[in-house]
Structure 1
Amino acid sequence: MRIAITGASGNIGTALLRRLAGGEHEVIGLARRTPETVAPYSGASWHSVDLTEPDAVARLRTAFEGVDTVVHLAWGFQPSHDLDYLRRLGVGGTAAVLQAAQQSGVGHLIHMSSVGAYSPAPGIRVDESAARDGISSLGYSQHKAEAERLLDTYERTAGGEHQMTVSRLRPGFVVQPDAASALLRYGLPGFVPARIVTLLPILPLDRKLSIPLVHSDDLADGIVRVIQRRAPGAFNFAGEPPVTRDDIAAALGARPVQLPAKVLSTLAGLGWHARVQALDPGWIDLAFSVPLLNTDRARTELEWRPAVDSRKALSMTVQAMAERRGAPSPVLRTRSGLDQLRKLLTSGPLGNRRLP
């Protein structure tokens, strides 16, 4: 089978390339900046495509020639202050992938959505039929919901012999040690040493926090099962148990201290607006708004089971953050304090910059 993966050098893409390594499939990787030709990236042939550019559809059609399945993972998180760019990349990029895949005769499109596409339902387990309006305070959430509406329209209006099978995957928060540096860049200013994450004496956070989380390798296994079965429709993916404030405190080796979510969001907003840190405060709102995920459909129809306990996945990732672990791709590169400081001085705060 010939498989094309957009965003193949990112968190989920890297795990998927590991999962497909040495198999019978021909893999085509697409990224704005291609990674080093070392494992797991050496197992794919690469195309450089910027989904925000006017020639994106033409470039995608070239890459999708003879492809059986497209796995659309490409998405953006920075610059968090440029919502227009992030929408062009997320929603516009999805439209470009959908158009190019249809025109190229691709049989199966797998779209990586998110728990963030669901309407607020904190602490409630939802299945794939739940409402998908996102939350209003975070562009990422709104854009994920909007991208799914594009797929709704396609499935409702497309016809003929070349209509693609469409699958949409909605994982919880996705972590792995190789993504530690990338995750840390989003949440910790570059001038702060990475080691501090395991040296915090207290964790001020609302005790109401309860979020779905999944290891990237388990999600990659789910993707492969969807590919193999050409399984249509939506699938939730999450490890167990849901991650709580106390679980995060334990992973950090810190003592949990009650801080209302609204206060934390306000403080994060002050830092974000001042360009001191790159984390959009809407991510705090999302963490306290997302539902928990019922994964019965994936377990029944795909025979999927997460191999990594969610608390272990979190603990492994936190330790990797302290060690500045990364991978040899522009997206997952190892965090460097000196490099972060240099870019701060030459290119401005991370929230204003497009990442490689």
Structure 2
Amino acid sequence: MSKQGILLVNLGTPDSPSVSDVRRYLDEFLMDERVIDINPVGRTLLVKGIIVPFRGPKSAKTYQKVWTDNGSPLMYYSAKVKDLLQEKLGAGYHVELGMRYQNPSLPSALAKLKEAGVSSIRVIPLFPQYASATTGSVHQRVMEIVSKWQTIPDMSFVNSYHDDPDMIEIFAENGQKYHPETFDHVIFSFHGLPQRQLVKADDSQKHCLKSPDCCSKLTDVNKFCYSAQCYNTARLIAERLSIPKEKYTVTFQSRLGKDPWAQPYTSEVIHQLGKNGAKRLLVFSPAFVADCLETIYEIAEEYDLEFKALGGDKVQLVESLNDKPEWIAVLEKMSKRN
């Protein structure tokens, strides 16, 4: 009996925190035309001539701070999720993990599914909110690889699950144990995107950034907008935890370069809250289903230090979904959903 194939895809991580491996990772990541969406010559000069040579050593030092005996936290949790999902789904399924950049590579993961003779492949990007630079890039690369096969099985792609009620419940439960009502403010910090990419994703070209609250509500016009989906995820978690609108802010982190990115920026909001006398901040990071450099280091360490320098007491990170059994159950439902 043929099996159904499940391909879990995460962003990726360097093979090690060495400068050479980090540079190799950054090169593959940033040369993606969907990540830095400028003309190829400009992208090559920027990435290979400036970012990779100069950012590589600095990024390597940061990776060294989060690296464990199990390797990269992102890889550790992604691999555990793959094994746990395989166990949950049973013999009728074949689950593989691929990284959009570096290892295990998408070609190798898809080759394993092909060798297993699966009758279908369901691609599940481990990004709750859709963005061209993440989910879109994964879908494009998978289709490029599979299009070269002589026999192509039934293919299906998960676009987004930013409003999945079971996923929302897990994030809410993770935050509940910190008692959100005892914090001065709650921040929902999402990974940033250049504003130009948000505008390009607006097929109507009549909505994105045309008003200050263009992302506050999901509509048919902005249903694929990354920022709007982020706001929707935050709203659902906040409602589940009874957090009033005035007590939380949606922000964006990890920007690169001088072009304007999705706003407000997490660091600037934290600074403003600190200057206004806030002492304790609770931070969710629902763009990530596994804790990684952006959560463990950027939020829990960097932002915490910045906030304390302003007189604050604590920036408390709410852990991600990681390998929680409830998260595996969500993925099981996604795997079986028609």
Q: Same fold by TM-score, threshold 0.5 exceeded? A: no
